[in-house]
Amino acid sequence: MVHRNSHTSEKGKYTPCTRLMFVLMFISSSLGLAQTAEDSPKTDAEEHWIALFNGKNLDGWVPKFAGCKLGDNFAETFRVEDGLLKVVYDQYETFDNRFGHLFYRMPLSHYRLRVEYRFVDEQVDGGPGWAYRNNGIMLHCQDPNTMGLNQSFPVSIEVQLLGGDGHNKRPTLNVCTPGTHIVLDGKLETRHCINSTSETYHGDQWVIAEVEVRGSEVIRHYANGKLVLEYSQPQLDENDPDAKKLIKDGNTLLTGGYISLQAESHPCEFRRVEMLPLE
């Protein structure tokens, strides 16, 4: 005996009730797929990341070294070789406190910045002990044209890049505050440097540092895609002599500024520097 499916007619065709059920299932499935596509994260291509470093030269960037005029690339410290933006000290006899910064040509306010970096070789003679495998990305920088001739660091918020010594714990993407303060967990922080919760990256491995900057509202640090630090309300330090000169009408809040890459005495390489504008 053959048992017919209760959802079919005598001729084996689907009944109107069954056809309606399949139509509703198809519509529901289609809506589900559309919702999934809408909720899924955008790819880099869809987000339109802008390369700030072209892999060929330093076009769009200007250096400033302590003791040098703006635009003087002392001892060719910043250079492009093999498609990499490098911080190199092969023309130095000693460091002599020549702290340097490479500024991008225009100020920014709301954006994501992604940098891929690594430390290489040995620290130059005369470099301070704390600067071993130490570099940084400076956010909300003062206009480099306003820096003093012998000013070592721009007034800014520093995303500190640190490499491990092969043994000890040393997180990267910390925050340091030359001439500034931040608010962390609802409290004004006046400490110069605050550690992130990142892992320690030993050796010459590449690390992806990403920073989400939304004016004065919030700044977030990501190490290899993991959120490791978050703070808000970057502001000028009224007691800092360099910052005092930048305060206008009593307003200390920083809503934007220039970005720069540091040169603090240890060779470093960057193979990607890119930015995604945010609304």
Domain boundaries, the chain: 1-40, 44-277
User: Alpha-carbon dihedral of residues 27, 30, 32, 36, nearest 10 degrees?
Assistant: -170
The tokens describing 205, both together, are 């491995």
Query: How crowded is the C-beta side of 275, counted as CA atoms within 13 Å?
Result: 20
Tell me the average pLDDT across 233-248. 97
Residue 45 one-letter amino acid: A
The tokens describing 202, both together, are 């030993």
Tell me the average pLDDT across 84-109. 98
Distance of alpha carbon 67 from its chain centroid, rounded?
28
Cα-only R_g, the chain: 26
The tokens describing 153, both together, are 């660091």
Rounded-to-integer distance, Cα 158 and Cα 226, Å: 18
User: Does position 79 have pLDDT exceeding 60, yes or no?
Assistant: yes
State the pLDDT at residue 279: 82
Rounded-to-integer distance, Cα 264 and Cα 123, Å: 9
Q: 154: closest CA among 78, 86, 245? A: 245
When pLDDT is cut at 50, 70 and 90, the band that residue 221 belongs to is: very high
* Contact indicator for 186, 233 with CB cutoff of 8 Å: no
Rounded-to-integer distance, Cα 188 and Cα 137, Å: 22
Q: Tell me if the domain spanning 44-277 has CATH number 2.60.120.560.
A: yes
State the pLDDT at residue 43: 54
pTM over 0.75: yes
